[in-house]
Amino acid sequence: MTAAYPSSSNTFVPDHAASGKLVVDFARNIKDFAINEWVQIIPTKKTIGLYLKMTIEEAGRIQQTDLSNFAWPDGSDAPKGDDGAESFEFQTYRTQRRAFPVRLGDLTIDQASWNITAQHASIKARQAMTARTQLAITSAVTTGNYDATHVLDVTAISGNSGSWAESTTARQDIKRSLNAAAQLVLQDTLNGVRMNDLIVVISPVLAAQMSECQEIVDYLKHSPDALAQVRGELPGKNVLFGLPDKLYGYPIVVEATYKVTSKKGATRAVTPILPTATPFMCARPGGLVGVADSPNFATHCLFAAEEMTVETLKDANNRYQVIRVVENIGAYTVAPSSGVLFTNAS
């Protein structure tokens, strides 16, 4: 170290306490992840099992408007229902255990001026939630997971002229797309899914594009509550993206979870997990946690044998600790009739 003359900036040893032990970390509560708004979690006791999928026809099968096939005249045999059963199939689910670890030396922990183990446990919990979001999004945007008619090319929907990002007041491409998807869900679930169970999930990039298109700009002008939300005058979780919480009556969830795709030390590369061009509509009736042995219309489910277990493992011989978060989950699109995947939305 080069010798220097005393001054107000070099006569003391800089330390962490000088800043009040400030820790700069873009911490995010794991409960704030958007996935909690559109996925339902199904606790399981086994890592591999079956769930029952029923077809949806018999409950709404009315072939004669006068109901003559159900008539039971006095003195005659009652309808026997020989062909009244509904079909079903068993589908397999499988969870996979994953660990999100970090190793810290005992000297590092002992000499740190902040709670370095708790900080890293929080970081690993957020990494686990980001990974959970990736699993669910991968399932949600895989076209093969839906009924063929439930994958809608936005530009090919009857009456549409192009993508959502380019929509105008006259075109109404966004409104027409959402209404077409909702009608499809209501039809194919025999109205088993209610309108207020439907959620539209979009990426932050698409949210920005939509907020700037003429259709949405004019929509906000004619909707005082929506405009007040965007201005910050009323509470709204989508204010950052220039959108109201509801659009044409449909709740909007901006899936703004980002992932770092670059290796440590390389040029930083960050991208949203949900692709811009593939928003989707899904059903999420009820709360976050579902019941495994009851009828379920939630489009996307996480089967969870173990969730967010935080462990600290001490190696006394080598004098280090491993802090890890463990998950044992699997993501599935279990009710494809209750959801719609859009393509070419941007």
Q: What is the pLDDT of residues 321-346, one digit of tens each?
A: 999 999 999 999 999 999 999 999 99
Is the model's pLDDT at 202 over the cut of 70? yes
The pLDDT score that the predictor gives to residue 69 is 86
The pLDDT score that the predictor gives to residue 9 is 54
The pLDDT score that the predictor gives to residue 23 is 45
Backbone angles phi, psi at 6, to 5 degrees: -60, 140
Is the model's pLDDT at 280 over the cut of 80? yes
Q: Residue 343: which H helix or E strand, with range?
A: strand 340-343
3's tokens: 């010798």
The pLDDT score that the predictor gives to residue 337 is 92
Is the model's pLDDT at 25 over the cut of 50? no
Is the model's pLDDT at 317 over the cut of 80? yes
The pLDDT score that the predictor gives to residue 22 is 47
Q: Please answer whether residues 192 and 298 qualify as being in contact, where contact means their C-beta atoms are separated by less than 8 angstroms.
A: no
* Measured distance CA(302)–CA(218) in Å, rounded: 38
Q: In this structure, how many other beta carbons lie within 10 angstroms of the beta carbon of residue 312? A: 11
Span 298-305, average pLDDT: 94
Span 99-124, average pLDDT: 91
* Measured distance CA(130)–CA(113) in Å, rounded: 28
The pLDDT score that the predictor gives to residue 52 is 83
Give whole-number Cα distances, 82 to 86, 185, 226, 230, in Å.
11, 29, 53, 57
**Is 225 exposed, middle or buried (CB count within 10 Å of its CB: 0-12, 13-18, 19+)?**
middle
* Measured distance CA(242)–CA(236) in Å, rounded: 10
The matching CATH number, chosen from 3.40.50.360, 3.90.1690.10, 3.90.1330.10, 3.40.50.2020, for 35-54+87-286+306-343 is 3.90.1690.10
31 falls in which pLDDT band (50, 70, 90)? confident
Tell me the pLDDT tens digit for each residue of 34-65: 999 999 999 999 999 988 887 777 778 788 88
The pLDDT score that the predictor gives to residue 83 is 84
The pairing of beta strand 198-202 with beta strand 250-254: parallel
User: What ranges do the domains of the chain cover?
Assistant: 35-54+87-286+306-343
Is the model's pLDDT at 221 over the cut of 90? no
230 falls in which pLDDT band (50, 70, 90)? low
135 falls in which pLDDT band (50, 70, 90)? very high
- Position 45: which residue type? K
Residue 36 half-sphere exposure toward CB, CA atoms < 13 A: 6
The pLDDT score that the predictor gives to residue 232 is 64
Query: What residues are paired with 342 via a beta bridge?
Result: 152
Nearest to 188 by CA among 74, 53, 42, 340: 340
Identify the residue with better confidence: 98 or 116: 98
The pLDDT score that the predictor gives to residue 51 is 85
**DSSP conformational letter for 94:** E
The percentage of the chain sitting over the pLDDT mark of 90, rounded to a whole number, equals: 60
Span 274-287, average pLDDT: 92
**All residues at 6 or more sequence positions from 170 whose CB lies less than 8 Å from its CB, including other chains:** none
What's the whole-number average pLDDT of the chain? 86
pTM of the model: 0.85
Span 307-312, average pLDDT: 92
